[in-house]
Amino acid sequence: MSTDLDTDTAAAHAIFQSYDGMEGLSADTIALPAQPRPTVWRAFFFQIYSGLLVAVTIALAATWLSQQYRSPVMLFALPFGMTFHFLHEDGRCVPGIEFSSKAVLRVGVALLEARITATQILELGGMPIATVLGGIISTIALGAFVARRLGLSRSFGVLSGGAVGICGASAALAIASVLPRTVESERDTILTVVTVTVLSTIAMIAYPLFVTAIGLDHIHAGIFLGGTIHDVAQVVGAGYLISPQTGDVATYVKLLRVTMLLPVVFTIAFVVSRRAKVGQSSAKVRLPLFLVGFAVLVALNSLGLLPKVASDAANEVSRWSLVTAIAALGMKTSFKDLAAVGWRPIALMVLETVWIAAVTLIAVMFAY
């Protein structure tokens, strides 16, 4: 059974049987003195601290640069991580990088919903909810359908469609964590995060100009922006660029899309589990623990049982966890791997972005 410390290319990392591999030493040639048996937690920390420390350091650097240059933090964390890809090739950092890209990722996703309540969603009314549901479902379906026609895997279509339809990089990471693992899984996740972040940044600049040009009022503009732009930060920036009212509406609509991450990821996990166990009479669906935490936080916040200080702390931990996981995923991917994928995945995500924008615009102009 694999763990959060297992590398996805274990055969290529036999050298890690000795932690002295980074220094060019071999367990066969160096006789280490006997050491007292450490506790389980101490041994675990010794395994992960090097790689985890590198991932956190990259996250700190990326966050500082994003604040200085007012750019999405993911656009810094990913390429920075990829420049340290050699650390995932050999050395004692490998277990910590694997831990950061898996366990830390799930912590970040689980804490993502600490800011959302059921009341906020219900206040939007029926039509925005229907618009969001239609946009998400149709975008994921479009991705799965077109991906096969472009010679891509259906998993990539679901991954990219979910990222575009729900909440960008965060959705990509959450969905990737429950999809079947293949040789291309890590590369596909990185490519999706990079592309969806770039498209979201472009939308943040272009969409406010577009809704102003076609004459949408503040409420309808907010629904369009919240229903189409991929990442939460870009939605907030685009909405408040027009007016405070537009910003408020856009934020709530976007939070509704983020809420859909729970049922979407659970559905994908259910389908994957059922397909993996076809023909087994004792097939059971295991609910990922991070989804349980995801749902519990929404319930607690909706009932008013989650203090604001706890909610703010959870959001901060979630943000840092996701950036750290992105840095780790970057270290697991090389520029050569990304260059090899060609134009088809990017074309698919552009099509998905145009699709959800068209669906939302039609709903805004004709259904409200």
Task: Report how far residue 136's alpha carbon sits from residue 164's, in angstroms, rounded to the nearest whole number.
Answer: 8
Quote the pLDDT of residue 9: 46
Please give the full DSSP string across 291-315, using - where no structure is assigned: HHHHHHHHHHHHTT-S-HHHHHHHH
Asked if residue 8 is part of any domain, the answer here is: no
Range of the domain at 199: 39-277+284-366
Cα–Cα distance measured from residue 262 to residue 267, given in angstroms and rounded to the nearest whole number? 9
pLDDT computed for residue 336 by the predictor:
66
Residue 88 covered by a domain: yes
pLDDT for 365 equals 85
Residue 301 lies in a domain: yes
- Predicted pLDDT of residue 23: 33
> What was the pLDDT predicted at 10?
47
Say if CB 50 and CB 56 are below 8 A apart: no
- Residue 193: inside a domain: yes
Mean pLDDT over 5-18 rounds to 44
Q: Is residue 29 part of a domain?
A: no
The Cα–Cα gap between 190 and 170 comes to 12
Question: Is 26 within a domain?
Answer: no
pLDDT digits (tens, 9 = 90+) for 286-299: 555 666 776 777 77
When divided into structural domains, the chain yields a total of 1
Helices (H), the chain: 40-69, 73-83, 94-99, 105-110, 118-122, 126-149, 154-165, 169-176, 185-213, 218-228, 232-242, 244-259, 261-276, 289-302, 308-331, 335-339, 344-366
User: Mind listing the pLDDT tens digit for each residue in 197-230?
Assistant: 788 878 888 898 999 999 888 889 999 999 999 8
How far is the CA of 236 from the CAs of 14, 81, 136, 252, in angstroms?
A: 47, 27, 19, 10
149-199 pLDDT, tens digit each: 998 888 999 999 999 999 887 888 888 888 887 777 878 888 888 888 788
> Residue 94's closest CA among 331, 285, 336, 297?
331
Percent of the chain with pLDDT over 70: 77
Give residue-wise pLDDT tens across range 312-324. Answer: 888 888 888 888 8
Residue 103 lies in a domain: yes
Is residue 12 in some structural domain? Answer: no
Q: How far is CA 361 from CA 222, 243, 354, in A?
A: 11, 19, 10
For range 25-52, the mean pLDDT: 65
Reported as a single tens digit per residue, the pLDDT across 51-65 is 999 999 999 999 999
307, 310, 311, 317: CA torsion to nearest 10: 180
Contact 236, 204 (CB under 8 A): no
Q: Does position 283 have pLDDT exceeding 50, yes or no?
A: no
CA distances from 263 to 163, 175, 257, 345 (A): 14, 11, 11, 25
What pLDDT, on the 0 to 100 scale, is given for residue 245? 80
Select the highest-mean-pLDDT range: 80-94, 218-232, 246-260, 293-307: 218-232
